[in-house]
Amino acid sequence: MVSTTDPIHLFEQAAERWSSRPALRLGGKSITYQELDAWSNAIAQRIIARGHEGSRIAFVAEKQAGSYATILGILKAGGSYVPLSPDGPIDRWAAMIDKAGLCVSIGEQRIADLDRIDPGAGGDTTRPKSRPHDEAYVLFTSGSTGGPKGVSVSRSNLAAYLNHQLTVNDFKETDRFTQFFALTFDLSVHDLFVCWSVGACLCVPTGNELMRAVAFAQEEGITVWFSVPSLLILQQRMRALGPAVLPNVRKAFFCGEALTWPVVHAFARAAPGADLVNLYGPTEATIAIIGYAIDRGRMTAEGMVPIGQPFEGASARVVEGELELTGPQLAQGYVGDQPATDRSFRTDRGVRWYRTGDRARMDDQHILHYLGRLDDQVKIMGHRVEPAEVDAALAPLLGGAHTITLPRVEGGAIRLYTFVLGEVDQPRLMNELRRTLPSYMLPERIISVDRMPVTAHGKLDRKALLDRLDHG
């Protein structure tokens, strides 16, 4: 077991031990641990000087060096960070700011009427001595009632996750980690703090480098890969996952979506020396809480890869088909939304459990298998999406007209299609949605229908609607 797993303590230890090693690689340039440590110290000092020590602080989570220094600076000032998606939209930012009770932001861009702090590298770079608030970050996920839900994750939640990863894996200061995930996605927290805990280098793709992820990994000498399965499917389509194209990768993690055996086969051939691990965990259980180490000698030809067994100290159970989780990684709930917290978290015989909404089964070897969702929630490029949120955003634009947004798998990826009863101005509606929803939640098309088909039992016939995409 490691001596400390507080994320900032681990980073500071790495900065002292490996000060001249690269901590961050971005846009063809490297930033050393010493430089990133000093930069984040300067940000933390400005936060404290402005009286925001221990506060929740927002920033626009762009993939640029200042964002990484900002995350560290906020945590060093004892606060928690709230990343806002760079593509907005402004209305969604407003809902997040309101729910999280934010009053301060860091960055060049002014956000609403929040007190703004400069993210520059200059000024007092002395390491601050602040008393940390336990909350580490608040990340927002899609909500079925029409608004985002903010999950409050503590430093102790994150410390429990780091303790597991650093105990079971032999990460080294010479490793080079990918950072494929958006900073608004909790899997990015793994990238940052597992990497910086051991003095390794975090390699961040910019521009179109994410689309050519395999080529990026080759150019950067990546040794630790972490991505959603969708990214692998994209690389397959681009014919980038050829035999032994990733000879340097020694560890590969997959999370955020169901992982299929054909995808694993393709990556296993591409990275012949890599240990392969399928991870599972909602944001409410801090990054991942269940894992399955893939045995290359026992891979099958089809179906889904098991999600495995809970980390040490955590527990899982299946109650009436639904997977429930507990343990030290369990978040406190949703900020500004006690009813949602009460629906998703429950206490049974003194133990607090999170109801995932995922269907699962446990086999005779106590290995868990993911079977899909109980509700309509889907994963799009790893982001949790409630299609009903699209309908909620359209409601005020349509004056009560019936709408239904449905997911469909196309080429291994999930896409959304919205059906509207009656004639509508589709281009206008899409433009309006871009102001209220992030890009990954936008439907591929908005389709006008003259009636909503129903089944013999009078329920909406979703299959019949989706069939229209193929048959008109």
Average pLDDT for runs of 10 along the chain of length 472: 75 98 97 98 97 96 97 97 91 92 94 94 91 90 74 96 97 98 95 98 94 97 95 90 97 93 95 98 97 94 92 97 97 94 96 95 96 84 87 82 87 89 90 91 92 71 89 68
pLDDT of residue 457: 54
Tokens matching residue 96: 């997040």
- Residues 76, 217 share a domain: yes
Residue 459 confidence (pLDDT): 66
371 found inside a domain = no
Token pair, residue 414, equals 């999930």
Same domain, 266 and 123: yes
- Answer yes or no: is 347 within a domain: no
Instruction: Give the pLDDT score at 130.
Output: 76
Residue length of the chain: 472
CATH number at residue 11: 3.40.50.12780
Is residue 394 located within the same domain as residue 302? no
d(CA 140, CA 182): 12
Residues 285, 398, single domain; the answer is no
Residue 338 lies in a domain: no
Residue 339 lies in a domain: no
Looking at the structure, do residues 302 and 390 belong to the same domain, yes or no?
Answer: no
The reply to whether 270 and 411 lie within a common domain is: no
Q: Give which of 301, 325, 43 is closest to 160, Cα–Cα.
A: 325
As a whole number of angstroms, the distance between CA 221 and CA 53 comes to: 38
pLDDT, position 144: 56
Residue type, 428: R
Given 293, 310, 327, the domain boundary residue is 310
In a domain, 458, yes or no: yes
Structural domain contains residue 106: yes
Find the CATH number of the domain harbouring 460.
3.30.300.30
* Position 169 in a domain: yes
Do 27 and 139 share a domain, yes or no?
yes
**β-strand partners of 48:** none
Q: Report the SS3 class of residue 16.
A: helix
Residues 147 and 244 in one domain: yes
Whether 414 contacts 258, CB under 8 Å: no
pLDDT at 169: 98
d(CA 60, CA 149): 18
Indicate whether 276 and 134 sit together in one domain: yes
Q: Do 287 and 422 belong together in one domain?
A: no
Q: Is residue 340 part of a domain?
A: no
Structural domains of the chain, count: 2
Same domain, 306 and 394: no
- Rounded Cα–Cα distance for residues 113 and 196 (Å): 33
Angle (nearest 5°) at CA 131 between 128 and 135 = 115
Give the model's pLDDT for residue 458: 59
CA distance 168 to 306: 19
* Among 310, 329, 360, residue at a domain's last position: 310
Helix or strand holding residue 97 (H, E): helix 90-100
Are both 289 and 411 inside the same structural domain?
no
pLDDT for position 1:
42
User: Containing domain of residue 77, as a range?
Assistant: 7-310
Of 249, 284, 310, the last residue of a domain is 310
